[in-house]
Structure 1
Amino acid sequence: MVDYDSYGHVKIVKSPEHTTTVMMAKRISELAGEAHNPNEIRFTSAFPVLYSQDRMWATTLMVDYVSGLFNLDIFGLCIDINGIWAIDWINKRQQKTLGGIQLSKNPNYSWYGNVLMDYALRNANASDWLLIEDNFSDNFRFNGKLGPADTLVISPSGHWVTIDNLMNFDFINILVREARISYSDLNTFLRHWRAGGSYRLAYIRLEFEMDTDFENFDEDLEIVETNEVRKYRVEVEGDDTDYEIQGGYSIQRMDGVKATINYNLRRLLMVVWHADRN
């Protein structure tokens, strides 16, 4: 189940890509041209619509009704800055961790918005995926941890992600767009990974905001060029497809696990060759 608070929808889903609207909440002011009660239900040809002065009340009512009707826990939550209240509400109403959380785009930002998004990131616990689509302000900083979960996507505004953030992300798959990670930071991350950090990581893709010059890797990383062509599979943003990584550089973790690194001025890709995946 996904609660789209911003749009007033409650949806039953098999996956984030396949949804069906079953109920909708709208503000009572949208019932124009007639007298109406503070809370009113109207039926369309497709699904009922609940009109209310208090959309938080209407949303929780709908989610409770649908989850009780089908005897389901809430699986996913898709919200913008106005729906952050739902994180605590869901954490209190069920023991099962959410499967996925999507923090959607916000048109305007203030210091208060930064505070709310910091709170959301610290409390957004999900087992499968965390999709952060927010437009963060230039001065936004986050010093907490994210994960553990399967997939993290930060798009489009990944400029706030620091090297410390990257080393504190506990995910199998990571995609960060508009990153401002420097070349020296990347060496730091590789040193962290080589020593056993980010142990579950199988795939990371950084797409840089500006051209990033790659010089020689630090010698202690013992990175060597390779012309190997290998296939890997990754599920990011609903895409579960086999890909090829051609050539690049090979790096080995202290426990013997290897990874391939491929990069250009605007992108770095690293695939880790775990025995049980990739």
Structure 2
Amino acid sequence: MNCKFLHFICFQIYFFQFRVPLSFCSQKSHSVIKTLRKVPHDERLLVGGPYINSSFLSFTNCDCVLSTGNSAYISSSEKEEYVKLGGQKVRVKMHRLVEYLITYWEDKLTGLKAITDYVTDLFNIDVSEVRVCKDSFKMIEHVNIKQKTPLEKVVYVDWNVVPSEDEMNYILRDCRCSSQICINSEALPDFRFSNNFRRIDCLEISNSKWVTIDNLLTMDGIDIHLNNASLTNSDLNVFLRHWLSGGSPRLKLFCARTGSVDIFQVLAGLLDNAVLVEDRGDYTCPFGYSRTLSFGYDVKRGDGVTATVCEQMNGTLVIAVWPETTYNYN
């Protein structure tokens, strides 16, 4: 690769987004980068993108370091530059504004796997988070097979194609993920999850109409966020009683947007144990979600732990468990 792509001075190689293109210049530069590859302990490698045609690799504290593009859409009038990647010669060009390399592939899933393998080997780092869509779904398994430590976070984002029943079951039940799962997509109209939810610290489901009260009672999480839920006020009352009797012991923040919350139905039979509170203020959970608790009821569990239960204007029920903690589990 011609080093004219590298429009930066020598000390900038200490930034990850500059080390990656520099590593392609020669075998010697690649070897030098590998000797300097120590990664700060707070850096995490993210793989993915909302769609496979915008897939990328980045570190938490810097911009994209490498991305994929469709070789069918690169202009033939541009001067061709190639690097060796994934056992083949791959056409590349430098992004005009941000100065990261775009690699071009006929099959972009193959490209995403190749750039992931290259960067993890270059820096001797595991992938922390993958963001996949229908077309890049296989990246979850690819990453988990390649590394010993499980992924911390899996995000499924695709509003154009509905995941299959097998794909939904894999995300919820089978994929190795230690901390956080986010599903931002529709689900099949007849989808039902018949298994117990496994222990997961943070679960966010943007379209959770399929989540039943039986599902909810098996969730073992710290933060649970359910949007577009079909849970009834009676269901939410059952869940609150479940928590009061010692269920979901790790729970810190629960949010369910049903569009029709009635706080008195949720608290039915529990008002003797409820204290009206106003202006509780902002509640921040361990995963960065924040809620303003302007009006609600405090309920106390048998072990003395208190939760504020409140109905918000957008039809959301919030259960915030005290003491508030800002410890980040990521």
TM-score by length of structure 1 reads 0.82
1:100 touches 1:129 (CA, 8 Å); kept in 2? yes
Shift of 1:19: 5.1
1:9 touches 1:21 (CA, 8 Å); kept in 2? no
Mean CA deviation greater in 56-65 or 43-52 = 43-52
Q: Sequence identity, in percent?
A: 25
Structure 2's unaligned 5+ residue stretches are 1-44, 83-87
- 2:58 corresponds in structure 1 to 12
The one-letter code sitting in structure 1 at the alignment partner of 2:209 is: H
Distance 1:86 1:54, change over 3 A: same
- 2:297 corresponds in structure 1 to 249
Distance 1:148 1:53, change over 3 A: same
For residue 100 of structure 1, the aligned residue among 153, 167, 171 is 153
Secondary structure in 1 matching 2:201:
strand
1:134 aligns with 2:180: no
1:52 touches 1:58 (CA, 8 Å); kept in 2? yes
Greater strand fraction, Structure 1 or Structure 2 = 1
1:270 aligns with 2:270: no
Mean CA deviation greater in 213-222 or 261-270 = 213-222
TM-score by length of structure 2 reads 0.70
Q: Per-residue displacement from partner, 1:48-73 (whole Å, max 9, x unpaired)?
A: 33222332322111111111111211
Secondary structure in 2 matching 1:75:
strand
Shift of 1:261: 0.8
Work out the CA distance in 1 between the residues paired with 2:264 and 2:285. 30
Distance 1:202 1:101, change over 3 A: same
1:26 aligns with 2:69: yes
Secondary structure in 1 matching 2:68:
strand
Q: Give the number of aligned pairs.
A: 268
- 1:86 corresponds in structure 2 to 139
1:3 touches 1:76 (CA, 8 Å); kept in 2? yes
1:75 touches 1:98 (CA, 8 Å); kept in 2? yes
Work out the CA distance in 2 between the residues paired with 1:264 and 1:238. 19
Structure 1's unaligned 5+ residue stretches are none
For residue 224 of structure 2, the aligned residue among 174, 191, 204 is 174
Distance 1:233 1:124, change over 3 A: farther
Work out the CA distance in 2 between the residues paired with 1:268 and 1:129. 21
Work out the CA distance in 2 between the residues paired with 1:113 and 1:42. 34
Secondary structure in 2 matching 1:144:
coil
Shift of 1:94: 1.2
Work out the CA distance in 1 between the residues paired with 2:295 and 2:67. 51
2:47 touches 2:57 (CA, 8 Å); kept in 1? yes
- 2:201 corresponds in structure 1 to 150
- 2:17 corresponds in structure 1 to none
RMSD: 3.0
Shift of 1:177: 1.3
2:274 touches 2:297 (CA, 8 Å); kept in 1? yes
Work out the CA distance in 2 between the residues paired with 1:218 and 1:50. 59
Distance 1:277 1:116, change over 3 A: closer
1:261 touches 1:268 (CA, 8 Å); kept in 2? yes
- 2:118 corresponds in structure 1 to 65
Work out the CA distance in 2 between the residues paired with 1:169 and 1:53. 41
For residue 187 of structure 1, the aligned residue among 237, 261, 264 is 237
1:25 touches 1:51 (CA, 8 Å); kept in 2? yes
Shift of 1:95: 1.7
Work out the CA distance in 1 between the residues paired with 2:71 and 2:91. 10
Secondary structure in 2 matching 1:268:
strand
Secondary structure in 2 matching 1:160:
coil
Work out the CA distance in 2 between the residues paired with 1:2 and 1:146. 25
2:283 touches 2:324 (CA, 8 Å); kept in 1? no
Secondary structure in 2 matching 1:82:
coil
Distance 1:235 1:19, change over 3 A: farther
The one-letter code sitting in structure 1 at the alignment partner of 2:143 is: I
The one-letter code sitting in structure 1 at the alignment partner of 2:56 is: V
- 2:32 corresponds in structure 1 to none
Q: Per-residue displacement from partner, 1:175-227 (whole Å, max 9, x unpaired)?
A: 2111111011112111211121111001111111x324454434268532323
Work out the CA distance in 2 between the residues paired with 1:177 and 1:186. 14
Secondary structure in 1 matching 2:127:
coil
